[in-house]
Amino acid sequence: MDKDKYKKEEINKMMDEIFGNIDKVSELSVEEQAKCVDAVVIKYANDDAFLNDQFYKFKNDNMDYAEWNSTSIGNVAYVSLYTKRDDVRLIAKQILDGYQKWRADNKK
């Protein structure tokens, strides 16, 4: 088994145990999703360099929602609610909307 894949599977399993399964988290309100945020995003939610790197880069890249876990949703939800930057709040909301559309299109 690929070591990186194994690590990712272990991390996702741990996140599911802490926050709940990604399917469950994705159905919560944005306020509830934001509770799955990690400490890095809480610390840097208003740091311009962090926000520009994480949100503008993410918006412009090909988003691979299949790689998301509950913390991914929580981080974006948190920023969509609590960053002081209106432009980044809007991008975060667009990213969450994109995730929900992707999820609906890819349900098994």
Break the chain into its structural domains and give their ranges: 3-105
Q: Using CA of residue 66, residue 70, residue 72, residue 77, what is the dihedral sign? A: positive
Nearest CA among 33, 31, 32 for reference residue 70: 33
Q: Does 3 have pLDDT greater than 70?
A: no
Length of the chain: 108
Residue 77's pLDDT is 97
At 97, the pLDDT band (50, 70, 90 cuts) reads very high
Render pLDDT for 43-86 as a digit per residue (tens, 0 to 9).
Answer: 999 999 999 988 887 665 657 888 888 899 999 999 999 999 99
Q: In this structure, are residues 93 and 34 in contact, taking their beta carbons and an 8 Å threshold?
A: no
What is the C-alpha to C-alpha distance for residues 58 and 54, in angstroms, rounded to an integer? 6
DSSP state string for 9-34: HHHHHHHHHHH--HHHHHTS-HHHHG
